[in-house]
């Protein structure tokens, strides 16, 4: 019986790490009007943590879950791609060889970044000045 053994055998880890770094930049970075990503404020604090009241470990755990989902999507793509119709997997020239499947994967990543940023950012509750009745 040919078991699955190591499901990640032959997996291109360098691609995953590069994509994970870019994903992390989009998840935590702030795009300035000049088109640059900034990660630190003038006083040296990490910009994301300055705006969020979540504890660091909670942010780290949530981000780890999203990176795991990213890994799963990349692994799933390797298994699903051979079963997809050719019009989805055929490449065309757009900066490099790209397929509709690649563009769909990028759209899913963008949605993941939006969801993660909304989930991670919890505004600090300074407290209201109005007494509760």
Q: Is 131 part of a structural domain of the chain?
A: no
Q: Average pLDDT of the chain?
A: 75
Confidence class of residue 34 from pLDDT cuts 50, 70 and 90? low
Q: Which of 41, 6, 19 is nearest to 106 (CA)?
A: 19
Percent of the chain with pLDDT over 70: 62
Confidence class of residue 58 from pLDDT cuts 50, 70 and 90? confident
122 — phi, psi (to 5°)?
-125, 115
Confidence class of residue 39 from pLDDT cuts 50, 70 and 90? low
Check residue 2 and give its pLDDT: 41
Check residue 92 and give its pLDDT: 76
**In angstroms, how far is CA 87 from the centroid of its own chain?**
26
Q: Is 81 part of a structural domain of the chain?
A: yes
Q: Is 82 part of a structural domain of the chain?
A: yes
Percent of the chain with pLDDT over 90: 19
Q: Are 40 and 46 in contact (CB under 8 A)?
A: yes
Q: Is 83 part of a structural domain of the chain?
A: yes
Q: Tell me the pairing of strands 30-31 and 37-38.
A: antiparallel
Check residue 108 and give its pLDDT: 94
Q: Is 34 part of a structural domain of the chain?
A: yes
Per-residue model confidence as pLDDT tens digits over 72-124: 998 888 788 888 888 887 877 766 777 888 889 999 999 999 999 888 876 65
N- to C-terminal Cα separation, the chain: 68
Q: Are 14 and 74 in contact (CB under 8 A)?
A: no
Q: Is 89 part of a structural domain of the chain?
A: yes
Query: Which residues contact residue 69 at a Cβ distance below 8 angstroms, ignoring those fewer than 6 apart?
Result: 112
Q: Is 126 part of a structural domain of the chain?
A: no
Helices (H), the chain: 13-28, 47-51, 56-80, 86-89, 100-120
Q: Is 102 part of a structural domain of the chain?
A: yes
Domain that holds residue 23: 13-120
* Number of domains the chain contains: 1
Q: Which residue has the higher pLDDT, 43 or 115?
A: 115
CA angle 29, 73, 12 (to 5 degrees): 90
């Amino acid at each position: 019986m040919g078991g699955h053994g190591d499901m990640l055998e032959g997996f291109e880890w360098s691609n995953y790490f590069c994509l994970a770094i870019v994903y992390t930049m989009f998840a935590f970075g702030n795009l300035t009007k000049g088109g640059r990503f900034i990660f630190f404020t003038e006083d040296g604090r990490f910009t994301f943590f300055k705006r969020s009241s979540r504890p660091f470990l909670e942010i780290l755990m949530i981000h780890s879950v999203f990176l795991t989902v990213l890994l799963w999507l990349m692994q799933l793509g390797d298994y699903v791609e051979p079963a997809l119709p050719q019009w989805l997997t055929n490449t065309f020239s757009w900066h490099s060889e790209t397929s509709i499947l690649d563009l769909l994967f990028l759209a899913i990543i963008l949605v993941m970044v939006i969801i993660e940023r909304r989930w991670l950012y919890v505004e600090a509750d300074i407290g209201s000045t109005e007494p509760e009745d």
